[in-house]
């Protein structure tokens, strides 16, 4: 699209636009885009792949919620550690989790992939994972761009969702008196990555399989986000970067002090069983990629909130918002004593 | 976000999320994201940079129009041929043109950039160009992702716009009896690229400067797209891939035969003056990157359409839709004789 026109012409074997049409029929790029499009469910309304842009009708009364994440081979994933299909699933998961963390519902996605000319087979597998997660989450992939690169495989997903404007989970909504609660468990994905990294452990095949699945096929809390928002939670974030760091974001954005009770955190039982408790704690507090939600809400709402999301996951109170604090502050306790959250987490601001 | 967690941690100097907040204050990524955000106008409503996702309110009665394009160093641009600021401008232009070609108005953008750790200075310049084009087009950049790569610099822009659902310019709206018309001129950008490539020419500094500007700083037809749609045009596309190829898209999608009168095409006067007419024709018909609009509309609307877009650009009739034709067909004439559109364009389907 930009310069190096002659280089671009050489690159046409992959320089296709899922939302456009290829330059000539019968060429490789035409075949590839048709194969990719065939993997996707067509949108039930509006214009999907095949024009200059996609269109859809916003649901009246909702706001649009938009997020985008770029994943680079060698930085965010390794093709010798993940299957391309799992990679496609995860590229969607990263973005779906951000939508859920706003209390919103996903609706449409646009997917851009840069790949080497010999990676057409890989991109089809990636799209299978994208399509599977799109279907599982009720999201329509309506456009994108597939281009050539001489460098690492790079995927960018933009996810568009909708929410009731009065029910957005913001980072700045934490208030003194709220409790801090987390969906699901912490540390499972980081434990799976530790296994991939060859970290020594008391290995158990079933546990390993479960932890690797936590890492490769995360399930964003698509129901819990909107459900917690509709019950009255006003502050939420996903813990893709670990509990300590994400609590820090909430504290700083909300200008409050938050105390985490480390003993209350539901660390993943397989992570605790395979690694010592201290390591499992570090994986959960500072590891990340769990795609669980961290919310603050009044204590009086916790029981109803737990019931409302029970079909999808658990909700556990792990701390409380103790007071207003300009710039934010996060501290932690264990056994009644101060607990250092460790490198990578917010200890103070 | 995905695997290679340890590698990711090493990469944190650039692993920032414009719509998120960095892991720790006072680090390089925090400084960088603050510098990037400071270049952008904050949205006048909704949530911009700084939460899990951005939000905005759709205009009642409109449909959302979405497009995304990925640009890769060495494939779509060369940093020794373009300034980073022009690159940012162009990354926006590519997407803004797609929005205009749907008859829509741009509203919000999300920008993802993968770059090497030593390219922080370049990304700031890129953002200056993005911000300038966002401001010029009334678009708010509300989110994105900035990550590290060991490979080529890669930019992905997702552009969200709005349109009246009854006034969408589709590719499949051409009808026998319509004329084919083009905004502005053709071949200017391709002529600028030919100059960059060192193509021999009768050089003239002023002409060269104008042609290079056509290539580096294209102005998408943001007003003409919605204006032509509101006047009754129902079929449109942007000519980022050249007239021949794009007319082929319209013909195939609409299942019609289109005849182009090559003598009527307004080739860029500087391209004609610097190169022989035959070369200028090839640049305009098969070159591309002009970001003009190609529309079909009833002949009776042409005068009003010309008046409606006169403040932005010209409108020139260059052909007509002659009949229904399954699968589409494009032919061309010059001086009353058949004209071969050449490689890269659609001659037949």
* Architecture of the domain made up of A178-338: Alpha-Beta Complex (3.90)
Task: Give the mean pLDDT of A72-100.
Answer: 96
Q: Phi and psi of B159, rounded to 5°?
A: -115, 125
Q: Strands B329-334, B315-324: parallel, antiparallel or unpaired by DSSP?
A: unpaired
Q: Phi and psi of B139, rounded to 5°?
A: -105, 140
| DSSP for residue B40 | S
* Architecture of the domain made up of B5-166: 2-Layer Sandwich (3.30)
CB pairs under 8 A between A and B: 331
| A45 or A319, which is more confident | A319
Of B236, B211, B190, nearest in space to B344 by CA: B190
CATH 3.90.76.10 for domain A5-167? no
- What pLDDT score does A1 carry? 28
- What pLDDT score does B28 carry? 64
Between CA A85 and CA A74 the distance in angstroms is 17
Residues of B111-131 as b/e, b for ≥16 C-beta within 10 angstroms? bbbbbeeebbebbbbbbbbbb
Between CA B100 and CA B106 the distance in angstroms is 8
Task: Give the mean pLDDT of B182-186.
Answer: 97
Structure confidence by residue, pLDDT tens digits, A172-190:
999 999 999 999 999 999 9
The angle formed by the CA atoms of residues A91, A96 and A97, to the nearest 5 degrees, is 105
- What pLDDT score does A255 carry? 96
- Helix (H), strand (E), coil (C) string for A208-262: HHHHHHHHHCCCCCCCHHHHHHHHCCCEEEECCCCHHHHHHHHHHHHCEEEEEEH
**Which of B54, B72, B289 is the mutation pick for testing A, counting most A CBs within 10 A?**
B72
Helix (H, G, I), strand (E, B) or coil at A269: helix
* Residue A221 Cα, gap to closest chain B Cα (Å): 14
| Interchain contact, A150 vs B51, CB within 8 Å | no
| Interchain contact, B150 vs A58, CB within 8 Å | no
Structure confidence by residue, pLDDT tens digits, A203-212:
789 999 999 9
Looking at the partner chain, which of B82, B151, B159 has a beta carbon nearest the beta carbon of A149?
B151
Between CA B251 and CA B258 the distance in angstroms is 6
CB A244 within 8 A of CB A341: yes
- For residue B52, the chain A residue with the least C-alpha distance is A98
Between CA B344 and CA B349 the distance in angstroms is 13
Task: Please name every residue paired with A70 in a beta bridge, in sequence order, or none if there are none.
Answer: A156
Residue A2 pLDDT exceeds 70: no
Between CA A31 and CA A24 the distance in angstroms is 10
Joined tokens for residue B225: 């797209």
**Which of A20, A33, A66, A155 is the mutation pick for testing B, counting most B CBs within 10 A?**
A66
Contact list, A63 vs chain B (CB under 8 Å): 46, 55-58
ipTM of predicted complex: 0.88
- At B296, is the pLDDT very low, low, confident or very high (cuts 50, 70, 90)? very high
CB B114 within 8 A of CB B148: yes
Share of chain A above pLDDT 70, in %: 89
Task: Give the mean pLDDT of B255-272.
Answer: 96
Joined tokens for residue A165: 């404007």
- What pLDDT score does A30 carry? 67
- What pLDDT score does A323 carry? 96
Return the domain boundaries, chain B: 5-166, 178-338
Structure confidence by residue, pLDDT tens digits, B123-167:
999 999 999 999 999 999 999 999 999 999 999 999 999 999 999
- At B102, is the pLDDT very low, low, confident or very high (cuts 50, 70, 90)? very high
- Please name the residue that has the structure tokens 């232009």: B93
Task: Give the mean pLDDT of A251-263.
Answer: 96
Contact list, B52 vs chain A (CB under 8 Å): 67, 97-99, 101-102, 169, 171, 236-238
Mean pLDDT of chain A: 88
**Other Cβ atoms within 10 Å of A135 Cβ, number:** 13
Looking at the partner chain, which of B52, B113, B158 has a beta carbon nearest the beta carbon of A237?
B52
> Which whole-number Å values give the CA distances from B192 to A7, A155, B199, B211, B243, in the listed order?
15, 31, 10, 5, 17
| Interchain contact, A8 vs B147, CB within 8 Å | no
Task: Give the mean pLDDT of A117-144.
Answer: 94
CB A78 within 8 A of CB A193: no
Looking at the partner chain, which of B101, B110, B344 has a beta carbon nearest the beta carbon of A68?
B110
- At A270, is the pLDDT very low, low, confident or very high (cuts 50, 70, 90)? very high
| Interchain contact, A20 vs B288, CB within 8 Å | no
| Interchain contact, B156 vs A145, CB within 8 Å | yes
Q: Distance between the two ends of chain A, CA-based, in angstroms?
A: 44
Of A334, A335, A210, A218, nearest in space to A274 by CA: A210
Cβ contacts of B165 within 8 Å, gap of 6 or more: A55, A57, B61, B62, B63
Strand spans (E) along B165-267: 178-183, 235-238, 256-261
Structure confidence by residue, pLDDT tens digits, A33-83:
788 888 988 887 778 787 888 999 999 999 999 999 999 999 999 999 999
CB B110 within 8 A of CB B144: yes
* Residue B226 Cα, gap to closest chain A Cα (Å): 14
Joined tokens for residue B293: 């609009």
Helix (H, G, I), strand (E, B) or coil at A334: strand
| Interchain contact, A75 vs B112, CB within 8 Å | no
Residue B336: alpha-carbon gap to chain centroid:
33
Contact list, A143 vs chain B (CB under 8 Å): 66-68
**Which of B8, B29, B70 is the mutation pick for testing A, counting most A CBs within 10 A?**
B70
Using only C-alpha atoms, what is the Rg of chain B?
Answer: 21
Strand spans (E) along chain B: 54-56, 63-72, 105-115, 140-148, 154-163, 178-183, 235-238, 256-261, 293-298, 315-324, 329-334, 337-338
- What pLDDT score does B167 carry? 94
Using only C-alpha atoms, what is the Rg of chain A?
Answer: 21
**Other Cβ atoms within 10 Å of A323 Cβ, number:** 11
Residues of B251-283 as b/e, b for ≥16 C-beta within 10 angstroms? bbbbebbbbbbbeebbbbebbbebbeeebbbbb
Residue A242 pLDDT exceeds 50: yes
**Which of B75, B154, B162, B344 is the mutation pick for testing A, counting most A CBs within 10 A?**
B75
**Other Cβ atoms within 10 Å of A200 Cβ, number:** 7
- At B48, is the pLDDT very low, low, confident or very high (cuts 50, 70, 90)? confident
* C-alpha dihedral sign at A287, A290, A294, A300: negative
Looking at the partner chain, which of B56, B145, B287 has a beta carbon nearest the beta carbon of A70?
B145
| B14 or B207, which is more confident | B207
Contact list, A8 vs chain B (CB under 8 Å): 75-76
Residue A280 pLDDT exceeds 90: yes
Length of chain A in terms of residues written: 349
* Residue A291 Cα, gap to closest chain B Cα (Å): 10
- What pLDDT score does A240 carry? 87
Looking at the partner chain, which of B20, B65, B70 has a beta carbon nearest the beta carbon of A55?
B65
Looking at the partner chain, which of A17, A24, A171 has a beta carbon nearest the beta carbon of B51?
A171
Beginning with the edge strand found earlier in the chain, give each strand of the sheet holding B105-115 in spatial order: A54-56, B63-72, B154-163, B105-115, B140-148
Contact list, B51 vs chain A (CB under 8 Å): 102, 170-171, 253
**Other Cβ atoms within 10 Å of B312 Cβ, number:** 16
Joined tokens for residue B204: 């003239």
- What pLDDT score does A49 carry? 80
- Please name the residue that has the structure tokens 């468990």: A185
Of B73, B34, B26, nearest in space to B50 by CA: B34
| DSSP for residue A149 | -
Looking at the partner chain, which of A57, A91, A165 has a beta carbon nearest the beta carbon of B165?
A57
- What pLDDT score does B26 carry? 41
Task: Give the mean pLDDT of A207-220.
Answer: 94
- What pLDDT score does B29 carry? 67
- What pLDDT score does A28 carry? 64
């Amino acid at each position: 699209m930009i310069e190096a026109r002659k280089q671009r012409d050489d690159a046409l074997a992959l320089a296709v636009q899922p939302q456009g049409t290829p330059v000539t029929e019968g060429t490789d790029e035409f075949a590839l885009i048709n194969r990719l499009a065939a993997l996707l469910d067509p949108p039930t309304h509006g214009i999907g792949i095949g024009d200059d842009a996609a269109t859809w009708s916003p649901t009246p009364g909702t706001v649009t919620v938009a997020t985008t994440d770029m994943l680079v081979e060698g930085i965010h994933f390794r093709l010798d550690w993940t299957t391309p299909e799992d990679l496609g699933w995860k590229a969607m998961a990263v973005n779906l989790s951000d939508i859920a963390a706003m209390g919103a519902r996903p609706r449409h996605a646009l997917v851009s992939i840069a790949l080497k000319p010999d990676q057409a087979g890989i991109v089809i597998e990636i799209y299978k994972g994208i399509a599977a997660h799109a279907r599982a989450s009720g999201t329509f992939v309506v456009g994108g761009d597939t281009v050539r690169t001489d460098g690492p495989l790079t995927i960018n997903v933009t996810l568009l969702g909708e929410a009731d404007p009065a029910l957005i989970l913001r980072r700045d909504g934490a208030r003194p008196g709220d409790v801090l609660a987390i969906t699901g468990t912490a540390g499972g994905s980081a434990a799976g990555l530790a296994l991939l990294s060859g970290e020594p452990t008391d290995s158990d095949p079933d546990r390993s399989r479960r932890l690797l699945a936590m890492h490769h096929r995360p399930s964003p809390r698509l129901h819990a986000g909107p459900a917690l928002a509709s019950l009255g939670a006003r502050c939420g974030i996903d813990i893709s970067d670990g509990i300590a760091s994400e609590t820090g974001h909430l504290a700083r954005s909300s200008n409050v002090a938050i105390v985490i009770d480390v003993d209350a955190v539901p660390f993943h039982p397989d992570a605790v069983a395979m690694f010592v408790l201290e390591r499992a704690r570090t994986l959960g507090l500072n590891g990340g990629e769990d795609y669980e939600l961290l919310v603050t809400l009044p204590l009086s709402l916790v029981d109803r909130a737990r019931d409302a999301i029970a079909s999808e996951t658990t909700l556990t109170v792990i701390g409380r918002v103790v007071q207003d604090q300009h710039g934010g502050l996060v501290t932690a306790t264990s056994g009644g004593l101060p607990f250092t959250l460790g490198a990578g987490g917010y200890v103070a601001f």
